[in-house]
Amino acid sequence: MNEALKEIPQRILNLAVGALAQANTHAVYFDPGNEHWEHICVLNTAHAGELFLKAIIAREHPLLIFKDVFGLDDNSGSLLDIETLVRRGRTHDFERLPQILWATTGTRLPNPKCFEQLRQARNSIQHFCAPEQRDFRRLSLEFIYTIIDPLIADAFDLCAIEYHEDHSVSYDYVVGALLRSELKFTVPGDFTVTEIDMSKELEGASSVYRNWVRQQMKRVGRIDLIS
């Protein structure tokens, strides 16, 4: 195998991280003039999910993300290279990736119901118009933190909250949105927030979720953040 093909998982991962940063930002932040972010966050989230799934699958073998391996042969006689893959390759469709993930890694996709809901919303927004009466920000955050976050924590030791496009602060506002939505997230060992009051963000949360947050803060030695 061409050694350059071994770079494919990392190259996909680099793009996925960028898509995740946009997805987090568009799902969390809302300012006048950015009303379209409510819909764009669905596209960003689906894009991030697709790329992360392909990166995980490609770690098993780079060619597993392609539909038709036979179609990659251009009869040149040389080793298959990335340029040929870009020109001739057709990767698996988004909706098929959960099955490909399971077949290649043995991992079942977390929260398949959310995956299907976001897939349908993505198709509507990308090809026609947004469905009515849906909280697309909430749906996007659910997809990121019940599907993407646990997968990339396990596969790449990444924490989804750390990727966003507000470079003036840390992940504080992302965390605030998750606390208000009662969504669990991977907590990094050096976790800290300075722009939000976690106790206030948790005021309407269930006791079960509050206990989960307390356990996580205790684990990283930051119980003071909710005291």
The DSSP secondary-structure symbol of 4 reads: G
Q: Strand, coil or helix: what is 84? A: helix
Q: Strand, coil or helix: what is 6? A: helix
Nearest alpha-carbon partner for 136 in 147, 149, 150, 122: 122
Confidence of residue 30 (pLDDT cuts 50, 70, 90): confident
Q: Identify the pLDDT of residue 100.
A: 97
Average pLDDT, the chain: 92
Confidence of residue 133 (pLDDT cuts 50, 70, 90): low
Q: Identify the pLDDT of residue 25.
A: 96
- CB of 161 within 8 A of CB of 175? yes
Could you give the CA distance from residue 62 to residue 187 in angstroms, rounded to a whole number? 30
Residue of 134 and 51 predicted with greater confidence: 51
Give residue-wise pLDDT tens across range 179-219.
999 999 999 999 999 999 999 999 999 999 999 999 999 99
The DSSP secondary-structure symbol of 79 reads: P
| pLDDT (mean) for 69-81 | 73
Confidence of residue 77 (pLDDT cuts 50, 70, 90): low
Cα radius of gyration rounded to whole Å, the chain: 19
Q: Which residue has the tokens 């990121």?
A: 144
